[in-house]
Structure 1
Amino acid sequence: MAQTLYLSLLLIALCSISECVQRQYHFINKNKTWTEAQRYCREKYTDLATVDNMNDMIQMNKSVKVNDGYAWIGLQRTSVYKWHWSSGDSVLFLNWASGQPAGGDNCTVMRNGKWFVEPCSDAWTFICYNMSRGLVFVNQTMNWRDAQSYCRQNHIDLVSVRNQNENQQLEKFINDRNSSGSAVWIGLFRDTWQWSDQSNSSFRYWDTIEPNNAGGHENCAVIYLYNLKQWNDILCDRQYAFVCHEDKLIVIQQNLSWSEALRYCRQNHVDLVSVQSVEMQRRVMNVVKLASTEAVWLGLHNFCSMNMWLWLSGDMVCYQNWAPGNGSTPENCKLENRKGAVQSGGDQTWISLPESHRLNFICTNY
């Protein structure tokens, strides 16, 4: 009994400290146009820098060796508007009111459970998400970007809604706290910006009045290297230093058993990938779309004697993204030798499969 308790406490401690660097940034102090910088990064590393969250911002800032001027990042304006969640969650569910989205407005409010677009400059109360507290109603009126900044500084981000059940829960939460029935900001917005590596990242860190597309041709993004490192849109043919990123996940389009995939990764890279956080799951979701099989092997395996799943890195499965009906250890665990895979389509949750299945797989260079 004491031994079991000790093991449980140890595993909790391991969950609390488990962390990994997910993307490496390289500051290149050579002046090039955006297109020239993109070509350089793709030849030497992975691509011009993509940023998923404030942790990435901190890591990218650490790579920068000067404190003045501009540096290109991998964000470029396109002609296609696309909806994003501020938190970076995939847009899997929409709940527009009849006739919405209407007009050219780019930010979203919820009113009576339905979604409406509004000018981002309007002031409304808003809902943040907090990891420990869940939903947080902020009874202050702000424009959308100020509300986003408030949530990121004090909680996690503006709230995301991933399905009908979450929408109903959010509607009830708002009704219990907002008797006036007025609209509240949620984290859904749209813009025409796309990352060079085709990442789905919706993280933006624009300076106060940016992007303003001055002159109608400011189609590339730079980071201002002084002070807060916020972003600006600027003409793509200007010449600046730039930041590349080196992504450490590689989809191997060969159909191998789990054991064969493990051997391949360890011989040619470092290991099969471990997914220990929401951020790493997003990285996996960005690369798994390159796969040619319906599921892709992860470095996730049953530790039968302990009746639990573990990552090959030795870490316990703290962050969970199992599909319904998966994740429990089967009674005939040792006979089946089941391993973990991520679905390459749909909501890209994890499933358990016999290790003899032949699938694509993701190697890591971390």
Structure 2
Amino acid sequence: MVIHVCDEAKNLKQDFHCPRDLLVREMRYFAEYLSTDAQRWEEVDISVHCDVQIFDWLMKYVKRATHREGQGPPKLEASSVISILISSDFLKMDNLVEECIQFCHRNMSPIVATPCNMNCINDKLVSRISDLYNHNEADDVKDRKDKFKSKLFGKLLEKLFDPSIANSCSPESAASLFKCAVCKKVLNTNLAKRINCLPSRMIIDRCGQLAYSHTPDPSFDVGDYLIDLKGQLKTWRDVYWRIWGSINFLSCSRCSETFPCTELGQCKFHPDTPLFHGNSLSGKYPCCGLQILRFDPSQQNKGCKLRDHIVNLSESGMKEPIGSKEQNIKAKQRVYEDLLSHREAVCMPHQKVLTMTNE
């Protein structure tokens, strides 16, 4: 078969020859156009609009089994792999598409450093490439012009919101994300069971323990929230890490609280001990003047200053089926390591702590 290749960008034309059976087997796109009736082959005129050098590479790949000993198939390179990926996907060269995707995973930083157009990659291929990345690998991609890194984190962000995916990067899911109408915190349902709301939402449960009930804000829209975050943080990479930090949580051995990863540096404390006069039931913290009850079951007045939480990995904060405690501890260890590695992106900036006064 003769394939006429027209390279409009370079104003070149070149003919390539390939046995029909080999062409149909390697480039399945042509299968529906090439009848099994040999008498009709001459009626088919194959014209392809493609870069001549790229199609020459593709034909060498198609004929790789016929190469002389020691010559081998053509090698993928950072400067041309995107063009080869797009062309091979169009021509339905499944094996080559997979090779290109694997090459992209291993060499994304040098690829985006070339003058290639990453916007030509369709959403299906972006998804397949991103499926090979964990969030640490994606963060390691050096992409000064942001040709592809935001697309990677966009796909990773989608996974956080997909409850059907077992996500190795995130033990928690953002599928149930909501905003509390009372305390204004953005939580998922699992974290909402462990994070206190305002004192007005405090109740005593049937076991006699203090409990808090968050009330979902019906006006909260996740899509609008993500767009607002994008406006604040500028990149989808930072949006991903902020959402990841909002849904994953750890426990503090110092304050005994469960906290979202975004609040690693917000362990509250009073630098001074409270002063009580005689047998008075109320006292005051010298550091901030806050009045305190000697016996305060609510334990709301944690402090006027902030410091880092001391993470207790032995407390998973999760219901643990038999045999899963070790797995949960390992999962929390990974969360803690990722938090420390990406703290600047995960943690919310400290707001100025106002001196608390007794109302």
**Structure 1 or 2: larger strand share?**
1
Higher relative contact order (CA 8 A, sep 6+): 1
TM-score (norm 1): 0.18
**Structure 1 or 2: larger helix share?**
2
- Highest Rg: 1 or 2? 2
TM-score (norm 2): 0.18
